[in-house]
Amino acid sequence: MRPGIALIALLASFFSLLSLDFAARAATTERVVVNRYSGLAIGGFDPVAYFTESMAIEGLPDFEARGAGAVWRFRNEGNRASFVAHPEIYGPQFGGYDPVDLGRGVTYAGNPRFWVVAGQRLYLFGREENRDAFAAEPARFLKEATARWPVLVQGLAQ
């Protein structure tokens, strides 16, 4: 009887891992990466702080704005006002998807802790290695990501 229970537990584990993989993919089928449970863009981090503080800082629920199907959080009213006036500047490029992976033809959600500001624009990366590669050659990766983005964005939900 015990081998039967072990087999059932093993199968349950396998199928739960498959569902987690599906959930991860489902969370990245938006044109802007958002947390599918909270609706927060870039994990609730303040997109303006990357420019003004040169660091990833979590925003506060008291300072929120809605745009592009997401809830954006900020550290203060000034950052919120700056973003509302210029979301194309302060929002992460490519909707928060990793530009290195976009260049490979894959939409992979960026992590707000792995970031680079290049050419006065914010880029998020899924892995540290991608961030480091991009920082060394931003023009190369931007060329590849920009070329593939129009096709990839069509496959993302609106």
* Digit-coded pLDDT (tens) for 53-104: 999 999 999 999 998 889 999 999 999 999 999 999 999 999 999 999 999 9
Instruction: Kindly state the average pLDDT of the residues 28-38.
Output: 80
Task: Please tell me the distance from the alpha carbon of residue 131 to that of residue 143, in angstroms, as a whole number.
Answer: 16
Neighbours of 141 (CB within 10 A): 23
pTM of the model: 0.79
> Residue 79: which of 118, 122, 32, 109 has the closest Cα?
122
> Residue 63: which of 81, 50, 87 has the closest Cα?
81
Confidence of residue 145 (pLDDT cuts 50, 70, 90): very high
CA angle 91, 25, 140 (to 5 degrees): 50
DSSP-assigned letter for residue 65: E
Q: Look at residue 23 and tell me whether its pLDDT is greater than 50.
A: no
> Residue 32: which of 5, 70, 61 has the closest Cα?
70
